[in-house]
Amino acid sequence: MDTMTKEHLELHWSPFKQVKAWQLSKKYSLALACRLLMSIKDPNHVTRFADPFVHVIDGFMALPINIPGTAFNRAIKGGRVIRQELLAIIKQRKKEISENKGSVAPDLLTQMLLVSDEKGSTVINDMMIAINIMGLLIAGHDTTSAAITFVVKYLAEYPHVYSEVFKEQMEIARSKGPKDLLNWDDIKKMKYSWNVACEAMRLSPPAQGSFREAIDDFTYRGFTIPKGWKTYWTPHSTHKNPKYFPNPEKFDPSRFDGNGPAPYTFVPFGGGPRMCPGREFARLEILVFMHNVVTRFMWEKAIPDEKITYNQSPIPVHGLPVNLKPHKS
């Protein structure tokens, strides 16, 4: 992850004076997921996933009207393209495993195929594996990209916060050799940086919420919700509840010092048994990116009052263009 982050910044950030953080964070997170889940390294191969993913994401909250020209129809077609691409990868990987090649990547896809062989193809077939991989790619695409984008946004808006993050990350950088990569001990030292990321996700949750089905009748604030009804939960109202977060519109990473907020008040990843299983993956990805981008650049927003639009994730209208500045030697 650290190696890929360095490569991404060198290729897509360093040569330019201005970049669009939203588009680049999406490119980064999808490439990272493809590499770690399926060992795909070819950028052109990743692009074949990226294009139909746009339609799939747009169709999440669309009206379920499956006629040509609708967002829902485009999402169905995009999903079909992704699944076919995944099935082709699975077929090739199964061939490599059967030939007992020593170079078979020990990634998630390989592990799922090995489990499939143990359980029998009638239990876990290729399509089920493709669907599960697709779900993981979707989960790691827009939401993590949004978290990274808004970390960049808030660090640009609050120089004193950037300064503290820079100080923490430089202490880690100075403790390592020129070619040493980040390790788990380094991640554990990034306490203030993670507080900053959490505060960014509190104010701008990467996911807008999710549907759930009531398993029993219940009453909430005078309203009776019958068993079987669909409910939609969103973190926005909880994250800005002054009872738990005084002065809720203020960007204040110190809220997460010590034990942090009360349980179930900070829920960017959901909570309970259905909490996002990728939480720690996202945490690692965000912190590794923060370390590399902060130790390499300073930046300022090119559009100070850029508006935010909301679909499945919050999206800066113009892609959050930022002007990059190298650190003074």
Tell whether the model's pLDDT for residue 248 goes beyond 60. Answer: yes
> CA separation (Å) from 301 to 36, 150, 191, 236, 250?
31, 12, 25, 24, 19
Residue 83, classified by CB atoms within 10 Å of its CB into exposed (0-12), middle (13-18) or buried (19+), is middle
For 8-31, what is the mean pLDDT? Answer: 95
Tell whether the model's pLDDT for residue 43 goes beyond 90. Answer: no
Tell whether the model's pLDDT for residue 227 goes beyond 60. Answer: yes
Nearest by Cα to 36 from 275, 278, 206, 205 = 278
Distance CA 179, CA 106 (A): 25
Nearest by Cα to 283 from 143, 154, 153 = 143
Task: Give the pLDDT band (50/70/90) at residue 121.
Answer: low
Distance CA 108, CA 136 (A): 11
Tell whether the model's pLDDT for residue 123 goes beyond 60. Answer: no
Residue 267, classified by CB atoms within 10 Å of its CB into exposed (0-12), middle (13-18) or buried (19+), is buried
Weakest-pLDDT range from 16-25, 51-60, 101-110, 138-147: 101-110
Tell whether the model's pLDDT for residue 311 goes beyond 80. Answer: no
Task: Give the pLDDT band (50/70/90) at residue 249.
Answer: very high
Residue 34, annotated ligand binder? no
Average of per-residue pLDDT values in the chain: 91
Distance CA 20, CA 318 (A): 8
Task: Give the pLDDT band (50/70/90) at residue 59.
Answer: confident
Domain assignments of the chain as residue spans, ordered by start: 2-326
Distance CA 71, CA 124 (A): 31
Query: Domain 2-326 classified CATH 3.20.20.70?
Result: no
53: three-class secondary structure by DSSP: helix
Tell whether the model's pLDDT for residue 139 goes beyond 60. Answer: yes
On whether the CB atoms of residues 292 and 275 are closer than 8 A, the answer is no
Distance CA 283, CA 298 (A): 22
For 302-319, what is the mean pLDDT? Answer: 92
Q: What is the pLDDT of residue 112?
A: 87
Q: What is the pLDDT of residue 119?
A: 59
> CA separation (Å) from 148 to 74, 123, 143, 299?
27, 37, 9, 14
Q: What is the pLDDT of residue 13?
A: 97
Q: What is the pLDDT of residue 46?
A: 87
Tell whether the model's pLDDT for residue 292 goes beyond 60. Answer: yes
